Structure 1
Amino acid sequence: METATAPAKQSNVFRNKGTMELRLSKNERRLVMSYMYVAFISLFIGGLMGLLQVLVRSGNFELPWGINYYTILTVHGVILGLVLTTFFIIGFQNALMGKTVGYSKKQLNWAWIGFAVMTIGMIIAAITILVGKANVLYTFYAPLQAHPAFYIGITLVVVGSWINAFVNFRQFYMWKKKHPDEKSPLLAFMVVINMLMWLIATLGVATAMLVQFIPWSLGYKNTINVLLSRTLFWYFGHPLVYFWLLPAYMAWYAIIPKIIGGKIFSDTLARFSFILFLFFSIPVGLHHQLTEPGLDSTWKFIQVILTFMVVIPSLMTAFSMFATFEITGRKKGYGGLFGWLKHLPWSDVRFLAPFIGMLAFIPGGAGGIVNASYQINTLVHNTIWVTGHFHLTAATTVVLTFFGIAYWLIPHLTGRKLTKSVNRLGIIQTILWTVGMLIMSISMHIQGLIGGPRRSAYSDYGGTAQATEWGAYQMAQAVGGTILFIAIVLMVYIFVKMIFFSPKGEEEFPIAQEEDNAEPTPRWTENWKLWIAITLVLILFAYTVPIMDVIQNAPPGSAPFDWPIGNS
């Protein structure tokens, strides 16, 4: 008589049990909303500073009350580039972790501590900038020197984010411990990748702060190694861009499919693309320093090559998203070459805002290729082209996706409904943002190509003839910036309305599932020791020799980490 035998266990793939979505507790919702409050207050303040900048550069407006242009420029860059993004991202990721792997009471307490440290640091840095003691711009390049409180505040923001990172790592570890043979939730996996990248990248800026800037600003050192400080900043500065971008990718891969009534195209592809971003987002910072002397051109070229490697996961993401759109449309019966495209939910702001963000990443990515293309970079380096590129990638792709997330996340956290009227206002806001950004960004790109400088308040820089040539583009930037500020005011109004005035109810936290016939996800996707080891090897390969050169070849008579700069 034959006896039934259990099927052999597959050792190379995970068992697909399907992960149950958890319900966010009241305290978890309060934590995430605390991050959202800071983020949207930052949006308004930073947006107002941006409006003032474009008005000044138009040549037809002067700042009142003796306000320094470089103060508002610093506020705009720091509060939008660092505060808005970091607070929104960590708040969003905390929501994802609470929904997929959950919090213990101790983990939640530490998450609150992380928020408190970040907020204290943000307040210290913001006050220092606002009183005019830190007009050092978003990059805080030496030999520009800020008050020590600015550097201490920024350092506290980083330390607070580290606390949140370790909380996320602990949550993920404890979930894996309880589910040893199961695939981790995709969104939790993505959060861990992003926070791992952030932790490694911020070691550069933390080192610069603790070893160079804080002792120098306190008067314990009279000198600073300028090139080393810039190299450490850009070791952090480029992965910062991907720290902004990967949460948008999380929404694209795992949330947008649910909103359009579809499923995730490929869990394995999504995980592998994030692994590739971890590899190639950090060892590439020298492509921001292509025009700086003191760095060997060979290593610049190597990092340019590594920079171009991020094209691969970007194209993987584009393929995955449009495959999801097409498969979903065809399952709903929409035929023809582009029938599926016409029937996407264009009237749903939760889809429309992120989709326009996706489209903006096409010219944004093309501009990034120019910026990283060695000799071509010399044409646009330190021109307002770079600012236009920044506003296409960070301020359109990322921010519009964040807005799209907010339209369902805020009602979900506050127990409100996304009403038709709010959805309609959201579509208007999205269109205003898109139009304003197109006008402003295109004019910045064109002015950059004819030599218009970035970071400068002087619209007549270069003489009367040059000012005349730039005038139309600067006026266009003022028009675009004004439309953008109107969109910001409308977004803040929508934010307040969703929290306090929308009818009470339950709004979905949309997380898509895999296709029913999806291939099992291989176990190698969660070989964390290997991925971290490869990342560190690439970083050591790309940075060891350049940093050793910068330290060893400092000017004669200066300490290895210092560079005499007189009384600057």
Structure 2
Amino acid sequence: MALRNVVLPNEDPRQLLAIPKQEAKLYMSFMYVAFISLFIGGLMGLLQVLVRSGSFTLPFGIGYYQILTVHGVILALVLTTFFIIGFQFTLMSKTVGMSVKQRKVSWLAFWIMTIGTLVTAVTILLGKASVLYTFYAPLKAHPAFYIGLALVIVGTWVAAFVNWRQLYLWKKGHPGEKSPLLAFMVTINMIMWFIASLGVAAAVLVQFIPWSLGYAETINVLVSRTLFWYFGHPLVYFWLLPAYMAWYAIIPKIIGGKLFSDSLARLSFVLFLFFSIPVGFHHQLTEPGIDPTWKFIQVVLTFMVIIPSLMTAFSLFATFEITGRRKGYGGLFGWFKHLPWKDVRFFAPFVGMLAFIPGGAGGIINASHQVNTLVHNTIWVTGHFHLTVATTVILTFFGITYWLIPHLTGRKLTKSVNRLGIFQTIVWGVGMLIMSGAMHIQGLLGGPRRSAYSDYGGTEQAVSWGAYQMAQAIGGTILFVGIILMVYIFIKLTFFSPKGVEEFPVAEEEENAEPTPKWMENWKLWIAITIALILFAYTIPFVDIIQNSPPGSVPFDWPIGNS
């Protein structure tokens, strides 16, 4: 592992240490799959908005819901999961290390996930699994679709056990020391993911696979949807928490500052673990068969995640202000004016942070029992997802890409790529503003989600909807340009940028910070509280669902759930 010959002032030499080539090859494999998924999924999204605009017909007999399924599965599940697992592996390698044996097991996780992805993708492309990424019953896919999804989940579990083993061995070798913050965050995220994915794994293995193979004649739709949304909502936080890792522990280093509070960062992640899982019913507010009392309880628990979100916002802007004032920028907003706006490593995630303001507000509306009825099953919900995962999360992932990929490939982030990245971020922001804004407005007017239909009989409302669908097509086209630019940047950073050493920016804690309490790493307590909240929120209503389910098959006019 080689260092640059010259270490610049205020530069931590440890952050210039190159990750060993064998490890970098593993991490880059995850990134290859992620960016291939970005291109394919983005193309499917472009085709969707063009079809809905009424100006385009899919060729070769391709179905709208086929491309909708590809778009949802490959972006919401494949792109995010591969990027997150690869990114988290790099964080663990930098903070607690990775042994040769752990690397071999990590390769096993990669190949299990990749094989599962390919199996699932083939069934969708063959038109055997046009069931959307939620795969709601009574829609039925080919058994290989469910088997592929199960393999992807199993692969992530293997990765989770590697991460936990890495931290365990580090703690064993450093008795009495607090774990590195990023390693703590990765561990929390993978605990949350493992507990949550047990729900969808149970639905797939116990219900969908036997049903699709013909071994079971019927399927309990409400049970399947309840198990899916037990997983589906924490999936949102599985996307979001890696972005929070970058915001808390990497962005401060990029702007020349330090971590505001180690304790606050850890506490916010613990609270996300508590309140992200036992809240799935807020996606099922209009579902029959669930007692309204339990829906209300889970809505209240959903609102609890606002607390760690506000803690994060406070911590970030405290870091921004303290850093600016230390550099001598006075006045009320002088510190804000002098943030590194021309550094894409900061600019892209910051635009993502801004998008999370309306995105979070929309999430509050979606989770509100009464207000949700206005936007239920409208394209408003689609617009909301595009603000959160497709803007906040993805732009942060893009910001990570600008320094992570050259660090792994032994290259440099050049000024020209940095400028192109700024332009790409602006293109993405403008495209999403147009497309997501039109989706939100059309949703308030009652425009349905999931639907390919754009001709509503020439009424005044249809004309209005048509205008917003055309706006979505324009915004979607601009976004696809942003995807092409990002794929080009990824290829450039991987293969063609000049050789060099790019830092792996990890912020240090403030010198006078209060010491982090030892009880903050009481893993048994945090897991016990999480399980207790889940049992409280789900045991009685789940037993009630099973006991009062109608016999026989469920009719096909069962209402589609909220998300």
Return the TM-score normalized by structure 1.
Answer: 0.95
Tell me the amino acid that sits aligned with residue 270 of structure 2. I
CA contact (8 A) 2:18 2:501 kept: no
Compute the displacement of 1:465 (Å).
3.7
1:197 paired to 2:192: yes
Aligned equivalents of 2:146 and 2:339: distance in 1? 47
Q: 1:462 to 1:104 in 2, by over 3 A?
A: farther
Q: Which residue of 2 aligns with 1:152?
A: 147
Q: Which residue of 2 aligns with 1:427?
A: 422
SS of the counterpart of 1:146?
coil
CA contact (8 A) 1:19 1:185 kept: no
Tell me the amino acid that sits aligned with residue 153 of structure 2. V
Compute the displacement of 1:377 (Å).
0.4
Q: Which residue of 2 aligns with 1:163?
A: 158
SS of the counterpart of 1:292?
coil
From 258, 265, 272, give the equivalent of 2:267: 272
Q: Which residue of 2 aligns with 1:414?
A: 409
From 480, 500, 513, give the equivalent of 1:485: 480
Aligned equivalents of 1:347 and 1:463: distance in 2? 48
Q: Which residue of 2 aligns with 1:452?
A: 447
Q: Which residue of 2 aligns with 1:30?
A: 25
Instruction: Report how many aligned residue pairs link the two structures.
Output: 546
**1:276-310 deviation digits (Å, cap 9, x = unpaired):** 00000000000000011010000000000000000
Compute the displacement of 1:481 (Å).
0.2
Compute the displacement of 1:332 (Å).
0.2
Q: Which residue of 1 aligns with 2:70?
A: 75
Aligned equivalents of 2:554 and 2:354: distance in 1? 47
CA contact (8 A) 2:138 2:554 kept: no
Q: Which residue of 2 aligns with 1:354?
A: 349
Q: 1:219 to 1:324 in 2, by over 3 A?
A: same
Compute the displacement of 1:460 (Å).
2.2
Aligned equivalents of 2:521 and 2:14: distance in 1? 20
Compute the displacement of 1:19 (Å).
13
From 528, 538, 550, give the equivalent of 1:555: 550
Return the TM-score normalized by structure 2.
Answer: 0.95
Q: Which residue of 2 aligns with 1:231?
A: 226
SS of the counterpart of 1:265?
coil
Q: Which residue of 1 aligns with 2:178?
A: 183
Compute the displacement of 1:567 (Å).
13
1:476 paired to 2:471: yes
When the two chains are superposed, the root-mean-square deviation of aligned CA atoms in Å is 1.4
Aligned equivalents of 2:44 and 2:200: distance in 1? 25
Larger displacement relative to structure 2 (97-106 or 248-257): 97-106
Compute the displacement of 1:566 (Å).
8.0
Q: Which residue of 2 aligns with 1:538?
A: 533
1:66 paired to 2:61: yes
Q: Which residue of 2 aligns with 1:7?
A: none
Q: Which residue of 2 aligns with 1:258?
A: 253
Compute the displacement of 1:20 (Å).
6.7
Aligned equivalents of 1:351 and 1:272: distance in 2? 24
Tell me the amino acid that sits aligned with residue 385 of structure 2. F
Q: Which residue of 2 aligns with 1:138?
A: 133
Q: Which residue of 2 aligns with 1:94?
A: 89
CA contact (8 A) 1:20 1:100 kept: no
Q: Which residue of 2 aligns with 1:309?
A: 304
Compute the displacement of 1:461 (Å).
4.5
Aligned equivalents of 1:101 and 1:207: distance in 2? 33
From 268, 275, 289, give the equivalent of 1:294: 289
1:330 paired to 2:325: yes
Q: Which residue of 2 aligns with 1:111?
A: 106
Compute the displacement of 1:464 (Å).
3.8
SS of the counterpart of 1:64?
coil
**1:447-481 deviation digits (Å, cap 9, x = unpaired):** 00000000000012476443212011001000000
Aligned equivalents of 1:288 and 1:488: distance in 2? 30
CA contact (8 A) 1:208 1:233 kept: yes
CA contact (8 A) 1:57 1:459 kept: yes
Q: Which residue of 1 aligns with 2:373?
A: 378
Q: Which residue of 1 aligns with 2:237?
A: 242
CA contact (8 A) 2:18 2:408 kept: no
Q: Which residue of 2 aligns with 1:15?
A: none
Aligned equivalents of 1:106 and 1:167: distance in 2? 10
Aligned equivalents of 2:18 and 2:230: distance in 1? 38
Tell me the amino acid that sits aligned with residue 417 of structure 2. V
Aligned equivalents of 1:161 and 1:52: distance in 2? 30
Aligned equivalents of 2:348 and 2:45: distance in 1? 21
Aligned equivalents of 2:517 and 2:75: distance in 1? 39
From 493, 508, 511, give the equivalent of 1:498: 493
Aligned equivalents of 2:364 and 2:429: distance in 1? 22
CA contact (8 A) 1:223 1:565 kept: no
Aligned equivalents of 1:199 and 1:427: distance in 2? 36
CA contact (8 A) 1:224 1:565 kept: no
Tell me the amino acid that sits aligned with residue 370 of structure 2. Q
Tell me the amino acid that sits aligned with residue 28 of structure 2. M
Unaligned runs of 5+ in 1: 1-17
Compute the displacement of 1:554 (Å).
1.0
Aligned equivalents of 1:299 and 1:424: distance in 2? 51
Larger displacement relative to structure 2 (20-29 or 419-428): 20-29
Q: Which residue of 1 aligns with 2:3?
A: none
Q: Which residue of 1 aligns with 2:400?
A: 405
Compute the displacement of 1:25 (Å).
1.4
Compute the displacement of 1:180 (Å).
1.2
**1:356-377 deviation digits (Å, cap 9, x = unpaired):** 0001000000000000000110
Tell me the amino acid that sits aligned with residue 414 of structure 2. T
Q: Which residue of 2 aligns with 1:387?
A: 382
Unaligned runs of 5+ in 2: 1-11, 559-563
